[in-house]
Amino acid sequence: MDEPSLGLSPLLVREIFRIIKTINGEGTTILLVEQNAKMALKISDYGFVLENGRIVAANIPNILLEDEDVKEFYLGIRSEESVKGYQRWKKKKRWR
């Protein structure tokens, strides 16, 4: 499924993800491509993080959700403050 939540209200997004989880629970394998990483990881058995077409991280959802780089770059959770407001772009750049 490619971006099933794109353009939907939060209420519909929750419903779509509930349906996806139900379908998967009935035995159907689902390949989900989704920018809403947090929601996608909540219903996933395994996750891949892609950047510019390359896999930069792969693991079970709990590990990805706790990874400092994934939290900062893809979930919008910054673990350190910067005087100028820059993110740790140097570390992200090495992924490329």
Residues 54-74: tens digit of each pLDDT: 999 999 999 999 998 888 888
Higher pLDDT, 94 or 19: 19
Beta bridge partners of 55: 50
Residue 26: pLDDT over 90: yes
| Three-state DSSP class for residue 50 | strand
pTM of the model: 0.73
Q: Given this model, what pLDDT does residue 81 score?
A: 59
Task: Provide the residue ranges of all domains of the chain, joining segments of one domain with +.
Answer: 1-44, 46-96
* pLDDT for position 59: 97
